Amino acid sequence: MSAAAFVLAINLFVAAIFATAFGIVAAYARSAIGARWLALAYGLGIVNPILEFLLPGQADPRPVQVAIFAVFLFALSLCVVGLTRHYRLQPPWRTLGVIVVASLVVNVLIVDMPRSSLLRGILYQAPYFILQVVGVAMILRYRHRKALDVALLVLFAASGLQFLSKPALAAWLGSGASARDYIGSTYAAISQSVGAMLLIANGLLMLLIIVRDAMAEITARSETDTLSSLLNRRGFEDRADRLLATALRAGVPASLVVADLDHFKAINDSHGHEAGDRVITAFADVLRTLADPRAVIGRIGGEEFVAFIPGADLASARLYAEGVRTAFSSLSIAGVRPDRPISASFGVARLTAGDSLSDLLRRADAALYEAKKGGRDSVCVAGPAAPSPPLTATLPPGERRRGSRAAQ
């Protein structure tokens, strides 16, 4: 067996392994739609080495030559589609269609040209190069690139240059007097070896990217409250802890706002849980809409919400809480009678040196208790030791706050 034939055998098994791997990811992570296309691409990659092995035994090698070109062309196109789908971008269907059709036509026209022709080699390899360029363009369109994405971009560019260099290499080393002689040539051994390395590297990087993003999505779902689409307690505490530590190290201000919906049990009892769910969703939307982009917002209890705002001093955090309070109380929510006012109470605390997240929550919670005690529908600010009076108090005094940290 020649060196090229040995590498072709390796390529066949590598393509089968990656086709299986992408297929498994696609089956278990339904959101990984790019993996389906990549599984199909590497599935086609299994066919290519088989055709290469069949080529020397053909009386007329031209149909198999065209088939080898077409299969690899389709496989590269599917890789671009899979990558684009994974990045949630629109695949360039028209561009890919033009490239594929034009390339097939040109390949049929050059099939009888001498194999030593440099022009033939350029026309043969150019479509592969162009597809790699399209892949690079798709990665550049993705705005949330990380280290693996940048590495894949570089690898796509290197693959493109490799295809571009092949005609010169074939002219220098010779690719065999005929198609039957190709597999025994030195050029075939080098070309297939480089192709095998790029096949493995591309497959590994794309698999790592898909698995990385699938795991991130699973983590995000586990840390997200399904009703409000805000972070749940675990997700909030994880992110807020990191931001708090950063703020303390940098010596920049940060503040915490806790909120509790007033008379929420009465709304549920009077109007039903569907109306109560709409109230929670509406409040979450107001919190999210008015928040600083850096803020971390969560729903940490039935009607309890919290926002950690890096860079915000007490005045800014208090202004945010008052804005949410005013906007929420002016809403009209389907299923809730107009004579049943909706409102929320807020406690605000500023991060001080040595604070942990629980310290900050405790002070903000104490301020929230004062807001509840002072009449609800109000904002109260906590000092380092004791809370300040409520900013507003438009409702009559009520009972203590319900919840795990204070009573309503």
Does 322 score more than 80 pLDDT? yes
Q: How many CB atoms lie within 10 A of CB 8?
A: 22
Q: Domains of the chain: which residue ranges? A: 3-222, 233-390
Say if residues 85 and 91 touch (Cβ distance below 8 Å): yes
Average pLDDT, the chain: 87
Q: How far apart are CA 35 and CA 84, in angstroms?
A: 11
Summarize pLDDT for 229-262 with one digit per residue, the tens: 999 999 999 999 999 999 999 999 999 999 999 9
Sheet order of strands, 387-390 included: 296-299, 304-310, 254-261, 344-350, 379-382, 387-390
For the record, the structure tokens of 267 come out as: 């709304």
Q: Is the pLDDT of residue 297 over 70?
A: yes
In the prediction, which pLDDT does 11 show?
A: 83
Average pLDDT over residues 392-400: 39
CATH fold for the domain made of 233-390: Alpha-Beta Plaits (3.30.70)
What count of other Cβ atoms lies within 10 Å of the Cβ of residue 362? 15
Which of 213, 194, 191, 190 is CA-nearest to residue 202?
194
pLDDT at 45 over 70: yes
- CB within 8 A of 204, min separation 6: which ones? none
Asked if residue 144 has pLDDT above 70, the reply is: yes
199 pLDDT tier (thresholds 50, 70, 90): confident
- pLDDT of 399 reads 36
* DSSP β-bridge partners for residue 346: 259, 379
Lowest pLDDT segment from 26-30, 138-142, 284-288: 26-30
Query: Regarding beta strands 379-382 and 344-350, do their DSSP bridges make them parallel or antiparallel, or are they unpaired?
Result: parallel
pLDDT attached to residue 125? 93
Report how far apart, in Å, the C-alpha atoms of 353 and of each of 126, 253, 254, 356, 368 are: 62, 10, 11, 9, 22
Q: Which CATH architecture has domain 3-222?
A: Up-down Bundle (1.20)
Residue with tokens 């162009």: 130
Instruction: Check residue 188 and give its pLDDT.
Output: 76
Q: Would you say 65 and 58 are in contact if contact means Cβ atoms under 8 Å apart?
A: no
Cross-strand bridge partners of residue 259: 305, 346
pLDDT on residue 388: 46
Confidence of residue 39 (pLDDT cuts 50, 70, 90): very high
d(CA 296, CA 294) in angstroms, rounded, equals 7
Nearest in space to 209 (alpha carbons), one of 149, 254, 137, 122: 149
Question: How much is the pLDDT for 251?
Answer: 92
- pLDDT of the residue at 66: 93
Extract the tokens encoding 403: 């919840």
- Cα–Cα distance between 258 and 330 in angstroms, integer? 20
pTM of the model: 0.72
Whether the per-residue pLDDT at 344 is higher than 90: the answer is yes
Report the catalytic residues: 303
The DSSP letter of residue 224 is: B
For 77-129, write each residue's pLDDT tens digit. 999 999 999 999 999 999 999 999 999 999 999 988 887 888 989 999 999 99
For position 1, what pLDDT does the model report? Answer: 58
Q: Residue 387 above 80 pLDDT?
A: no
Neighbours of 73 (CB within 10 A): 19
Bigger pLDDT: 178 vs 11: 11
Identify the residue with better confidence: 34 or 393.
34
Count of CB atoms situated within 10 Å of the CB of 4: 22
* Residue given tokens 């600010």 in the structure block: 381
